[in-house]
């Protein structure tokens, strides 16, 4: 553990975030040397702390989930959720960062789950892991013995990690249309968030780093890296042998954002940096819709994506909203299966943003 990292604020400037938005950022220039104390931190007995003290530790540590919502906010829910759902399914294809966390930090992840369950007053903890991750299933099941958590193997089909699907798969409860897991008596937290909860509460460590997957055919040495927040994408790629080519996308292959430059910083919600070849991106020109219905069959929410897209294309936002636009989670399944290469995801996402404005 680094005992100190001397540094000074170098400048305040605007940077472009993964979603393309500009944001003010503090640039810190490191000085001196990284040092290691060699001393282990004395763990805090979190069971002696009150609910308010636990939430205060999460706020002080800046613990934030993949969705950008502070963990303390997610855990301050009205009522008393009955179930804490631990999301161990990777949010996107290519990503393996959560799998590595479960294999290497299972005890810490479940410690974070116990803390979150105590804050919520939840009576049970359900852990969902895709069946194609046998090592994670084995290690997590072993760590869960005696701690009251149930580990379940789930069908490995995207978007299994979507929280409403996770609640249904693990509890049998259906989240109401337009609702949240809390409406079904559940709260869903990702394993990375739970690890950060453990570190903030038990070790008094701030949430200033995360594990990120660097992968794709354009990456010379794919790897999962533990990196400080703010690390430029260029530095992550360099650590993996440099960029061999391809289109650089941050986030995931289905819902990620293509980058124009590599100075974009690592953020708390960035699970992956992908360099995808033309073969992987399935690049092709758009052609007219042939009415095949594949987008309808692929939608996990039973929507008709191409119809929504056409309403939005003709400026009929109200009509699209009445047909279920608000139910779209922007998973990208419709765009992926479309043989005409219609940018359904981009169109629906843009419409949802207009509707929220």
Domain co-membership, 81 together with 181: yes
Evaluate whether residue 23 is within a structural domain: no
Residue 1 has what pLDDT? 32
Q: Are residues 134 and 268 in the same domain?
A: no
Looking at the structure, do residues 266 and 352 belong to the same domain, yes or no? no
Confirm whether 21 is domain-assigned. no
Domain boundary among 202, 231, 248: 202
For the chain (357 residues), the mean pLDDT of every run of 10, in chain order, is: 49 76 76 59 92 97 91 88 95 94 97 96 96 97 92 93 94 89 94 97 95 96 94 95 92 87 89 92 86 95 95 94 92 94 92 77
Residue 224's pLDDT is what? 97
Which residue range(s) make up the domain with 326? 294-356
Same domain, 325 and 264: no
Q: Are residues 334 and 194 in the same domain?
A: no
Tell me which long-range contacts 44-49 makes (C-beta under 8 A, separation of at least 24).
Answer: 44/201, 44/202, 44/203, 44/204, 46/115, 46/118, 46/201, 46/202, 47/118, 49/201
Q: CATH code at 131?
A: 3.40.50.11540
Task: Give the model's pLDDT for residue 12.
Answer: 82
Tell me, yes or no, whether 164 and 149 share the same domain: yes
Give the residue from 159, 194, 6 showing the smallest Cα distance to 84: 194
Count structural domains, the chain.
3
- Asked whether residue 219 falls in the same domain as residue 187, the answer is no
Could you tell me if 91 and 194 are in contact, meaning their C-beta atoms sit under 8 angstroms apart? no
31 domain residue, yes or no: no
What sign does the dihedral 281-341-271-136 (CA atoms) show?
A: negative
Whether 11 is in a domain gets the answer no
Measured distance between the N- and C-terminal CA atoms of the chain, rounded to whole angstroms: 44
126 and 145 belong to one structural domain:
yes
- Domain end call among 202, 235, 250: 202
Q: Are residues 181 and 149 in the same domain?
A: yes
Instruction: Please tell me the predicted confidence (pLDDT) of residue 78.
Output: 74
Say whether 105 sits in a helix, a strand or coil: coil
In a shared domain, residues 256 and 188: no
Same domain, 214 and 276: yes
Indicate the residue among 168, 202, 236 that finishes a domain.
Answer: 202
**Is residue 214 a contact partner of residue 223, using CB atoms and an 8 Å limit?**
yes
Q: Is position 43 within any domain? A: no
User: Could you tell me whether strands 186-190 and 149-154 are parallel, antiparallel, or unpaired per DSSP bridges?
Assistant: unpaired
Tell me, yes or no, whether 90 lies in a domain: yes
CATH number of the domain that residue 226 is part of: 3.10.20.600
Judge if 188 and 239 occupy the same domain. Answer: no
pLDDT for 32: 59
Distances (CA, A) of 35 to 7, 39, 78, 123: 13, 12, 44, 43
Does residue 250 lie in a domain region? yes
């Amino acid at each position: 553990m680094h005992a100190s990292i001397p540094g000074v604020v170098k400048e305040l400037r605007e940077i472009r975030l993964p979603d393309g938005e500009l944001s003010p950022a503090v640039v810190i220039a490191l000085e001196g040397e990284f040092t290691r104390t060699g001393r282990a931190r004395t763990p805090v007995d979190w069971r002696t702390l009150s609910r308010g003290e636990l939430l205060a530790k999460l706020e002080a540590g800046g613990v934030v989930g993949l969705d950008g919502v502070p963990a303390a906010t997610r855990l301050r829910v009205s009522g008393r959720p009955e179930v804490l759902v631990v999301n161990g399914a990777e949010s996107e294809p290519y990503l393996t960062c959560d799998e590595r966390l479960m294999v290497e930090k299972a005890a810490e992840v479940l410690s974070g789950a116990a803390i979150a369950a105590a804050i919520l007053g939840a009576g049970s903890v359900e852990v969902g892991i895709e069946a194609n991750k046998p090592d994670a299933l084995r290690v997590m099941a072993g760590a869960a013995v005696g701690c009251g958590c149930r580990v379940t193997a789930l069908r490995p089909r995207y978007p299994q990690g979507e929280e409403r699907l996770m609640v249904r798969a693990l509890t049998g409860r259906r989240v109401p249309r337009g609702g949240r897991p809390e409406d079904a008596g559940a709260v869903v937290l990702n394993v990375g968030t739970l690890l950060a909860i453990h570190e903030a509460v038990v070790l008094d460590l701030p949430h200033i780093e995360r594990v990120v997957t660097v992968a794709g055919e354009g990456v010379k040495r794919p790897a999962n890296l533990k990196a400080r927040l703010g690390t430029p994408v260029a530095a992550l790629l360099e650590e993996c042998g440099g960029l061999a080519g391809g289109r650089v996308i941050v986030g995931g292959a289905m819902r990620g954002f293509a980058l124009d430059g590599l100075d974009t910083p690592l953020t708390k919600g960035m699970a992956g940096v992908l360099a995808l070849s033309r073969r992987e991106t399935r690049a092709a020109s758009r052609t007219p819709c042939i009415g095949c219905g594949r987008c309808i069959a692929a939608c996990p929410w039973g929507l008709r994506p191409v119809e929504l897209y056409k309403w939005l294309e003709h400026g009929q936002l109200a009509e699209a909203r009445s047909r279920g636009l608000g139910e779209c989670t922007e998973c990208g399944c419709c765009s992926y299966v479309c043989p005409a290469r219609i940018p359904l995801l981009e169109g629906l996402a843009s419409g949802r943003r207009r509707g929220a404005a």
